[in-house]
Each structure stands twice: as structure tokens, then as C-alpha cells.
Amino acid sequence: MTLSPERAREQLLEIYRRLDDALVGFGCGASTACCRFGVTGREPYVTKVERHVLERAIAKRGGLPKRKTLPIAEERVCPLLGDDGRCGVYEARPFGCRTFFCDDALRDYAPGKLPRATIGALVRDLSDLSEKYDPRDGRGAPLTRSFGRRT
């Protein structure tokens, strides 16, 4: 059974709401470390249902942010990051962005209190939703592959 895009979107936004509620108190003061994939060596994977939600948010804002400056090549920045250093679709950011937990977030915000069991359960919920939305999706694709590499 596959879900309609609208029903899948509703369920994904509920997963995001539950995740955000579980992570109150965690943050890093908008350092954008999580948006610099080449520096961190980490990049979120995006499932097709997350891509659907992101595409809506991107369309609503009039497209992907336009790069006005040239980033340092080894930074390999997120295609959703604007020149102002802010996520262009923050409310719709994928699960992997919501759970990046940079060193600042882990050190400065409730150290040792990361709700790992809750996060694990929500990962399983996202995986189940993804499979219902598109059984061929697997674990998704790197964000830059989903939305084009921007360096």
C-alpha cells in the first residue's frame, strides 16, 4: 500500500514535530557547521517523502537560494543554505539536519541528555513511512544528490 503525497506529508510533519519536541534545549546557535558537508564529512540522506516536503518548501520560497559568493571548495555547502548563512527551508529541513548534533550542541545544550531511544524510535517511524510512500526508496539519497551539488 502506498500513501498519497499529502497523507505522507502529514505523517512526516508529525514525525518532525515529535522529534522537535524531544530535542527542546538542543541547538548550536546557527553555526551552520551541519551545512558544510565537506568540512564535517557528514551529509544527511533525504528520503523521497522528505524530498516531497522539501520541494514544496523550495517552491513556496521561489526556488533554491541563489549563491552570491563563492564558497571555499572544500566546504561543499548544502544546496539549501543561503548566502546569509541561514537555511532557506528551515521548517522543512530533513530528519538528518534536525539530528546533526554538532560538538557545540552536544557540549553546551544538555550534555549527556540526548534522547537516543526517542530518536531511534522516530528513525524507525520515518523508515516505515518512507517504505509506505515508496517501497523502492531504501534509506534515501544524499541531500546534494537530491537537490544538486552546490559548491
Residues 87-106: tens digit of each pLDDT = 889 899 999 999 887 776 66
**28/142 Cα distance (integer angstroms):** 23
Task: Tell me the pLDDT band of 74, cut-offs 50, 70 and 90.
Answer: low
pLDDT tens-digit profile of 121-146? 999 999 999 999 998 887 789 998 88
pLDDT at position 87 is 87
**144/106 Cα distance (integer angstroms):** 25
Burial of 25: CB neighbours in 10 Å, binned 0-12, 13-18, 19+: exposed
pLDDT at position 121 is 97
**7/4 Cα distance (integer angstroms):** 5
Mean pLDDT score across all residues of the chain:
84
- 3-state DSSP call for residue 36? strand
Q: Determine the structural domain holding residue 142 and report its residue range.
A: 5-147
- 3-state DSSP call for residue 146? helix
Bridge partner residues of 73 (DSSP): none
pLDDT at position 133 is 93
Average pLDDT over residues 44-72: 85
pTM of the complete model: 0.85
The torsion defined by the Cα of 36, 42, 48 and 19, in degrees rounded to 10, comes to -90
Is the confidence at residue 6, as pLDDT, over 90?
yes
Is the confidence at residue 76, as pLDDT, over 60?
yes
Among 13-17, 56-60, 66-70, 77-81, name the one with the lowest average pLDDT. 66-70
- The HSE-up count of residue 150 (CA atoms within 13 Å, CB side) is 20
Residue 61 per-residue DSSP state: T
Contact criterion met (CB below 8 Å) for 128 and 121: no
Count the domains in the chain: 1
Contact criterion met (CB below 8 Å) for 139 and 45: yes
